[in-house]
């Protein structure tokens, strides 16, 4: 089986982002990384309790995504721009195609889209 080229559309990378990565010619690409939150596991007993559980899940997933970003930065000796959007359960990352692919492989990530 052939290796997937960086930036090729996958289950988690939208076609728009894949196209931007392919056209980037090695330059950084801005991607919105949405955290995978299983809403079916959130309580239904009260809105406030559900909101607390969602907030905790978002913090945990965004923390996991940031760990992956920091590990990539350390491994490659580079730093990337990151913008947190906890209300949207997302992080905006500006980095190379290789980072997009690393994030797409993370179970904490639901989908990556173009900014």
Length of the chain: 115
Question: Is the Cα torsion angle 56, 57, 58, 64 positive or negative in sign?
Answer: positive
- Burial class of residue 20 in the structure, from the number of CB atoms within 10 Å of its CB (0-12 exposed, 13-18 middle, 19+ buried): buried
DSSP 39-95: GGGS--S-HHHHHHHHHHHHHHHHHHHHHHHHHHHHHHT---EEEEEGGGTEEEEEE
Q: What is the pLDDT of residue 7?
A: 42
Give per-residue pLDDT as tens, 54-105: 888 888 999 999 999 999 999 999 999 999 898 888 999 999 999 999 999 9
| CA dist., res. 47 & res. 42, Å (int) | 10
Q: Taking the model in full, what pTM does it have?
A: 0.80
Topology of the domain covering 15-114: Alpha-Beta Plaits (3.30.70)
Question: Hey, where are the domains in the chain?
Answer: 15-114
| CA dist., res. 69 & res. 49, Å (int) | 30
Q: Which of 112, 95, 115 is nearest to 10 (CA)?
A: 112
Q: What is the pLDDT of residue 39?
A: 74
């Amino acid at each position: 089986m052939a290796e997937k080229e960086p930036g090729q559309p996958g289950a988690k990378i939208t076609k728009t982002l894949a196209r931007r990565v392919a056209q980037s010619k090695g330059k950084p690409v801005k991607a919105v990384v949405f955290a995978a939150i299983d809403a079916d596991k959130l309580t239904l007993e009260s809105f406030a309790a559900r909101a607390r559980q969602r907030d905790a899940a978002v913090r945990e997933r965004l923390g996991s995504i940031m760990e992956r970003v920091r590990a990539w930065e350390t491994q490659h000796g580079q730093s990337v721009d990151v913008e947190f959007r906890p209300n949207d359960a997302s992080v905006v990352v500006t980095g190379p195609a290789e980072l997009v692919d690393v994030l797409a492989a993370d179970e904490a990530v639901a989908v990556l889209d173009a900014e």
